[in-house]
Amino acid sequence: MMIKRYALYFAPADAGLWQAGSDWLGRDAATGRPTGQPAIAGLAAATAAPRRYGFHATLKAPFRLAEGATPRDLHASLAALAGELAPVPLPGLAVTRLGRFLALCPTPEAPGLAELAARVVRHFEPFRAPLNAAEIARRQPDRLSPRQAELLHAFGYPFVFEEFRFHMSLTGDLAPEDLARLEPLAQAFFAPHLQGPVALDRLCLFGEDEGGRFHLLAAQLLGG
């Protein structure tokens, strides 16, 4: 498989939560295969955007490898950082509206989560090729705040550091009426898997294939 871009994500090791998230999106990023998506009207269209990426929370957004960087070096760096980072317990997750889309978000925000995400962003920055003009335009910089635009140019993604919010996307952008209809259905679907705490206890490397779909390439337990 030819990899166009890489990303550092959190993907839950809990089999029930992973399967539920993959089923909801209609694709398993570990196997690359479609899943048994719930028979909910409009769900396939509503999940088209996050389906490409698989069930995950972004820590380091997708990037092309910098000149001179190799996939082997990237895997070694993943193992090294995972050995330094301590797991972060998330008290719980809840279906949440974030602007125009639905996501699973921690409730309440977990101490140490932002610091872990910042470490990941900085650690893998040497592996990231600079954004090209098309990649910058795709982020719609005219809709970003001055600080977000600064972060986009400096780190390739506008939602890092103080702009970071941990979330696991469940839909793309939706009309208000579709948000209102799907929100309780998502809450009911995920309820059995959100009863207790969730451990952010591993760091995952994903890769984008030629068709724009992301695959789980490697997962390293946090051992710090």
Q: Are the beta carbons of 92 and 194 closer than 8 angstroms?
A: yes
Nearest to 29 by CA among 212, 174, 157, 224: 212
Q: Name the CA dihedral angle for 186, 111, 8, 193, rounded to a multiple of 10 degrees.
A: -30
Pairing of strands 168-169, 101-106: antiparallel
pLDDT confidence bin for 56, thresholds 50/70/90 = very high
Which pLDDT tens digit goes with each residue over 126-136?
999 999 999 99
Which pLDDT tens digit goes with each residue over 83-135?
999 999 999 999 999 999 999 999 888 889 999 999 999 999 999 999 999 99
3-state secondary structure 177-209: HHHHHHHHHHHHHHHHHCCCCEEECEEEEEEEC
Region 160-179: what's the mean pLDDT? 97
- pLDDT reading at 160 higher than 90: yes
pLDDT confidence bin for 30, thresholds 50/70/90 = very high
Q: Are the beta carbons of 23 and 192 closer than 8 angstroms?
A: no
pLDDT score for 196:
83
pTM over 0.85: yes
Tokens encoding 59: 């820590």
Nearest to 59 by CA among 96, 25, 11: 11
Cβ contacts of residue 136 below 8 Å, gap of 6+?
Answer: 152, 153
Q: Are the beta carbons of 190 and 4 closer than 8 angstroms?
A: no
- How open is the CA angle 10-14-15, to the nearest 5 degrees? 115
> Domain spanning 5-221: which superfamily?
Cyclic phosphodiesterase (3.90.1140.10)
Q: Are the beta carbons of 170 and 104 closer than 8 angstroms?
A: yes
pLDDT score for 108:
86
Residue 37 burial by CB count (10 A; 0-12/13-18/19+): exposed, middle or buried? middle
DSSP 20: H
Tokens encoding 78: 């993943």
The domain spans of the chain are 5-221
